[in-house]
Structure 1
Amino acid sequence: MNKLDELMALLQKQEKEEEKCKNTVMWVLAIIGAVAAVAGIAYAVYRFFTPDYLEDFEDDFDDDFDDYFEEEDNEEN
């Protein structure tokens, strides 16, 4: 009976260690997920508030392009 008790105690100890390991892994994954979520939100806010410089460039280019053709039309008349 003493051997059986020792074996049961050993199994319980192993189960507690496995559970502790699983708990640690779960905490690590939760922290990584939280950091990733904060980084994603920060990136979204950054993209929302950063002006789009390319859009301004395209507008300026279109204006210059239109002005060039208007000058050609006026020279022909």
Structure 2
Amino acid sequence: MSKVEELIAESKLSELLHKNEAEKQKNTVIWVLAIIGAVAAVAAIAYAVYRFFTPDYLEDFEDDFDDDFDDYFSEDDQV
């Protein structure tokens, strides 16, 4: 009977060891994904701050163009 009990104990120990290894692999994957997510979040925040503080030069160009365009035509020229 002791041989059977030893086999059962050994199989349970083996299952626990394999379970522990699988758990370590899951933890590694979770940590890698967490680090990638954190880097992506920091990059997104940096880009948003950059876009917020960068002046919009196109808006100034459009305003200047409208002013010049109005100088060439008078109200008498309109049909």
TM-score (norm 1): 0.88
Equivalent residue number for residue 17 of structure 2: 13
Gaps of 5+ in 2: none
- Give the distance between the partners of 1:17 and 1:67, measured in 2 at CA: 78
- Give the distance between the partners of 1:6 and 1:31, measured in 2 at CA: 38
2:64 to 36, 60, 66: 60
State the Cα RMSD in Å: 1.5
Gaps of 5+ in 1: none
Structure 1 runs of 4+ aligned residues shifted over 4 Å read none
Q: Which amino acid letter does the alignment assign opposite residue 14 of structure 1?
A: H
Q: Which amino acid letter does the alignment assign opposite residue 9 of structure 2?
A: D
TM-score (norm 2): 0.86
Q: Deviations along 1:6-54, whole A, 9 cap, x unmatched?
A: 1001100011001101100110011011001000000000000001011
- Give the distance between the partners of 2:31 and 2:73, measured in 1 at CA: 65
**Aligned residue pairs: how many?**
73
- Give the distance between the partners of 2:63 and 2:16, measured in 1 at CA: 72
